[in-house]
Amino acid sequence: MAAVVSRFSILHITAPGQRSNCPNLPTDFQYPSMEQLSEMVEYVCHHYGVAFFVGLGTGLGANVLVRLAFRRPKLVEGLILFNCNITSAGWVEWAYHKMNMKSLKKSTKFPESVVEYLLWHHIGSRLSPDTLSLASIYKQHFMTQV
């Protein structure tokens, strides 16, 4: 990998409050909008002198990168996106989210219903033999490290 890595840099940008073992955000913290998050990524690029990049994002990160690419197409050489969704949640997902938020407030670890929701969100509802091992890895991560 030394020959490959010597030709490019990897910057891993984490949204506020999302890194491992991060303290809770203050209760009065105003979380940035998706557009503001994309501007933050642009500022990071300018700070490190990145003229253009290929971005890799999943979920929220994918959404942020799409917004940045739309605003600054010359900065974004290409994108690799997973679970990129820019539409609002449907009623079922909204209700499921609300239910999970209530159970999270009552617990010190992820309840089983929240873990199942996260698995559904990241992997989907139809598990094939290929995704079963991935699902168990994600499940272990959500139950022990988040």
What residues contact 51, with CB distance under 8 A and at least 6 apart? 75
pLDDT at 95: 80
- Average per-residue pLDDT for the chain: 84
Q: Cβ(127)–Cβ(135) under 8 Å?
A: yes
Of 67-71, 87-91, 118-122, 138-142, the least confident: 87-91
Residues in the chain: 146
| CB contact at 8 A, 95 and 72 | no
**In this predicted model, what pLDDT tens digit does every residue of 101-132 receive, in sequence order?**
777 777 777 778 778 877 777 777 676 777 77
Give pTM, 2 decimals: 0.64
Question: At 13, is the pLDDT very low, low, confident or very high (cuts 50, 70, 90)?
Answer: very high
Of 52 and 97, which is predicted with more confidence?
52
Residue 146 has a pLDDT of 63
pLDDT of residue 106: 75
